[in-house]
Copies of this chain bind each other. A is one copy, B any other.
Amino acid sequence: MSNNDTKFLWNCWYAAGWEHEVAEAEKLERTFLGKPVVIFKGESGRYIALDNRCCHRGAPLGMGRIEGDCIRCMYHGLKFDPQGICVEIPGQDKIPASHKVRSYPIEERGNLLWIWMGDPALANTDDIIDYAPLSDPEWQGLPKQCYLHYDCNWMLIIDNLADFSHLAFVHTNTLGGSEAYAVETKQEIERLERGFQFERWHRESAPAPYHLKVNPDESPTVDRRNYVQMFVPGVFLMETAFGPVGWDQSADHSAVKQYRNCQYMTPETENTAHFFWDYLRNYRQDEEAVSISLRDSLLEGFWEDKVIIEAQQKLLELEDPFQPRGIAADSALAHFRKVWDELLEDQRVNHPPKQIEVTRSIL
């Protein structure tokens, strides 16, 4: 067990990649929670996730060859089945039971792959947060679901998303609209056992720039509604709607344009992270130009975040100690971190990560 193992929460489902990423890479080598994994689609169509290190000498299975639902290491030819069991060693009849690599539960929901890095016995696929719009033809997503790599602790991205006041300053000209957004609208969150949610109305204000770009005839003054949910370990779901001044949820809202936004943060290592996202809409679904414009606008906004968050990460990594000071707008992130700490403590007491015993070392 490495020292970092106690910093991660093991027994939950993490977003691992989009289906198209695995299709393009064939064997997708990706690290989660500090552990190197190879993900591939077996010839039967099922997804398989194994420790990327061949049990023989640690060579990458990601450089291997898919054979049926197995993968063969192309260093010395060992072959592993979907459970990670070594089923062939060239030139050797008997295969010891110890010859296996770890296999990770992996599931697909709405084109997104979910991996379970903890104790497989505790994995329950009912716990996967399956975001309905990803599978619903009424909702049109981006031309391709997106991925960004962040040079930061994944929790900094969660902090970022948990605090809407940053929209006013970081994204004034892209996703936000005005600095007033930070001041006018107090954010009251509903604390959940594994996260939080809140609804936020921004009434009689200019529509956000990214929305205006694809709706140039939009009214200059609209009511904007956001409904946000954040769940452990790093799932951000948001409904966004722009409608005529005075509209509300209960009434008819055929004139309201709606979006569905999902973002997933998964730790790669302690200080690097995976970020997956899609942005869906329920209007003009067949116009690819709209999808492309939305993707580019969102990406522009995420890059605004990425630049400041990665700078923040570097400043926090300095030896010079830093004592953060809370503000009122932190209520969401503070609650999320409290939930996280409680789950870590529960893990420490009830499900400590198992230590792997190493009796020989190659290096």
Residues of chain A at the chain B interface (Cβ within 8 Å): 1-4, 34-36, 52-53, 55-60, 63, 72-78, 89-92, 96, 98-99, 153, 155-156, 159, 163, 165-166, 168-170, 179, 182-186, 270-271, 307-308, 311-313, 315-329, 356-363
Q: Are B323 and A356 neighbours in the complex by a CB distance under 8 Å?
A: yes
Q: Are B183 and A91 in contact (CB under 8 A)?
A: yes
Distance of A265 Cα from B170 Cα, bound (Å): 36
Contacts of A77 in B (CB 8 A): 165, 168-169, 179, 182
| Pick from B89, B170, B186, B321: contact of A358, CB under 8 Å | B321
The quantity of this chain's copies bound in the complex is 3
The answer for the CA separation of A92 and B326 in the assembled complex, in Å, is 12
Question: Given the complex, which residues of B lie within 8 Å of A36, measured CB to CB?
Answer: 315, 318, 320
Question: A77 to B182, alpha carbons, bound, how many Å?
Answer: 8
Nearest B residue to A101, CB-CB:
B325
A58 in contact with B329 given A182-B76, A308-B75, A362-B156 (CB within 8 Å): no
Partner of A324 from B75, B89, B322, B360 at Cβ < 8 Å: B360
Q: Chain B's nearest CB lies how many Å from the CB of A317?
A: 7
Q: Tell me, in angstroms, the Cα distance from A163 to B169 when the chains sit together.
A: 52
In the complex the two chains form, what is the Cα distance from A170 to B307 in whole Å?
A: 41
Judging by beta carbons under 8 Å apart, are B59 and A308 in contact?
Answer: yes
Whether A322 and B271, one on each chain, are in contact in the complex, defined by CB atoms closer than 8 angstroms, is no
CA distance A156 to B182 in the complex (A): 49
- Asked if B312 contacts A4 (CB within 8 A), the reply is no
**What distance in Å separates the Cβ of A326 from its nearest Cβ neighbour in chain B?**
8
Which chain B residues lie closer than 8 Å to A59 at the CB level? Answer: 308, 311-312, 315
Q: List, sorted by A's number, 22 A–B pairs whose CB atoms are closer than 8 Å.
A: A2-B319, A2-B320, A55-B323, A63-B311, A73-B169, A74-B169, A74-B170, A74-B308, A76-B166, A76-B182, A76-B327, A77-B165, A77-B179, A90-B329, A91-B184, A92-B328, A96-B325, A99-B327, A271-B363, A313-B363, A321-B358, A324-B362
B90–A168 CB distance below 8 A: yes
Rounded to whole angstroms, the CA-CA distance of A55 and B179 in the bound complex is 20
CB atoms of B316 and A362 under 8 A apart: yes
Closest residue of chain B to A185, judged by CB? B91
Say yes or no: B311 contacts A169, CB within 8 Å.
no
Q: Are B315 and A360 in contact (CB under 8 A)?
A: no
Interchain CB contact under 8 A, A323 and B357: yes
Q: Name the residue among A90, A317, A357 with the largest chain B CB count within 10 angstroms.
A: A90
Q: What's the minimum C-beta distance from A19 to chain B, rounded to whole angstroms?
A: 25
Q: Which residues of B are found within 8 Å of A322, using beta-carbon distances?
A: 53, 58, 358, 361-362
Q: Is the CB of A321 within 8 A of B356?
A: yes
